[in-house]
Amino acid sequence: MRSGTSRTATRSGWWAATASRKLAWAACVAFWEGRGPVRRVADLTDIALRAIWANKLRSFLTILGNIVAVGSIIAVVSLIQGVNAEVTGAIVSQLGSDSFTIERVGMVFSEEELEETRNNPRVSLDDADAVRRFGTHLGAIMAQAERSGQVRYRNRVLESVQIRGVTRDYIEFPSFTAEKGRLFSPTEVDRNRPVALLGWDAADRLFDQADPLERTIKVAGVHFRVVGVSEPSPSTFGQSQDEFVVIPMGRFRKLFGSRPSLILMARPETPEQLERAMDDATAALRIERRLRPAEDNDFGLFTSDTVLDIYEQATTGIFAVLIGIVALSLVVGGIVIMNIMLMVVSERTREIGLRKALGARRRDILWQILAESVILSVLGGLIGTGLGFGVALTLSALTPVPAAVELWSVVLGLSMTAAVGLFFGLYPAARAAALNPISALGRA
């Protein structure tokens, strides 16, 4: 009994394995004979491309709206993303990612807000001292003043150079670095030594190939000794960020007086304490300026993230308007595609009737017309993508505006064109599928 049962089980297993092999072989045969879904998609694509190629001019004029719409979104998005990267880098390099800035006026968004802050007192060294005294979570605070002036070395003169006066803690901030030489020391700041740190481009224009270290230059008509040259910074929209000279605050005030309002830059002991350090600075300034609890702050305090958030809100609005315009353009392009596909159905009525008479089902006709509509629309998206990249890169090469290619914009553009082709191809495809083969074959 055991051996019979074993033979029966073996025979059953053999038949099951054989049946599985036959099913797998049948599936492979069905696939290669054109009955698999992948093969059907390939056939539909081939038929659609042949029909499009047979009417090249008409097809191109049909998708012209899609080309313009997608090309526009790709070009504009590439340029805006490039500008975003440029602006973000400039803001972070100027303000720092883990520091905050105190100025006479904060962020204003209307004429009323600007009018309210017009009488704000100047930021002074007393304010910096108050923040330093009460800022228990502060790692460093510096004051900076800026003016535009002339810098001269022998017979070479630079006009409108940014002249910066700084206090002793400036060396604690990463925006001040020395590629050549050194930064002047806190002791030299305290003693008002006539020392200067030159920006890279300013040093290059003044000294060309000569070594600028320990040379004497004139800043606003007064002699200063060059002790260092800063590291080169990337330009912003083609404008140099390295045409400046940094001098001690005491020397700056002798040159330009003590009236200019200062900019305070503060850094917490650790990045995690940024919010607490900002609260400390706010409390210290309110005490120093004797503000009542009900009174608003008469100073501005913000971080690089604050500026970036405001900038991103503005660009988000631009993106929203852009997407709306492109969507409207694609709808117009979709209507054109629908009308052309209706004309195609009318032209190929006898062909559709013949296919139905030979056994084609309604869904076969439906998918054939839909495939042609979608592929036609996506071809417009592909051409528009290439055109948009070309426009963006050309503008970037000819102007200071940078371009940054974003994958999501390509995916968005192609997805929108595919959706347009599918949606506006449904009605012509449904009409073609509903044709009666007898009446279709009877048409001339």
Lowest mean pLDDT among 176-185, 338-347, 365-374, 392-401: 392-401
Instruction: Please compute the mean of the pLDDT values over residues 400-415 and round it to a whole number.
Output: 80
Q: What percent of the chain has pLDDT over 70?
A: 86
Q: Residue 115: CB partners within 8 Å, gap ≥ 6?
A: none
Cα separation of 236 and 233, whole Å?
A: 9
pLDDT computed for residue 101 by the predictor? 86
299 CB-contact burial (10 Å; exposed 0-12 / middle 13-18 / buried 19+): buried
Q: Domain extents for the chain?
A: 37-86+311-442, 121-298
Using pLDDT thresholds of 50, 70 and 90, give the confidence band for residue 152. very high
User: Would the pLDDT of 405 be above 80?
Assistant: no
pLDDT digits (tens, 9 = 90+) for 342-365: 888 888 888 888 888 878 788 888
pLDDT computed for residue 95 by the predictor? 62
pLDDT computed for residue 13 by the predictor? 47
Instruction: Please compute the mean of the pLDDT values over residues 430-438 and round it to a whole number.
Output: 83
pLDDT digits (tens, 9 = 90+) for 119-141: 888 888 999 999 988 888 888 89
Inter-residue contact 357 to 441 (CB < 8 Å): yes
User: Would the pLDDT of 253 be above 50?
Assistant: yes
pLDDT digits (tens, 9 = 90+) for 82-118: 877 777 776 666 666 678 888 888 766 667 777 777 7
Using pLDDT thresholds of 50, 70 and 90, give the confidence band for residue 180. very high
pLDDT computed for residue 363 by the predictor? 84
Using pLDDT thresholds of 50, 70 and 90, give the confidence band for residue 389. confident
Reduced to 3 states (helix: H, G, I; strand: E, B; else coil), residue 82 is helix
Cα separation of 213 and 226, whole Å?
A: 5
Of these ranges, 77-81, 200-204, 353-357, the one predicted with the greatest mean pLDDT is: 200-204
Instruction: Please compute the mean of the pLDDT values over residues 68-74 and round it to a whole number.
Output: 85
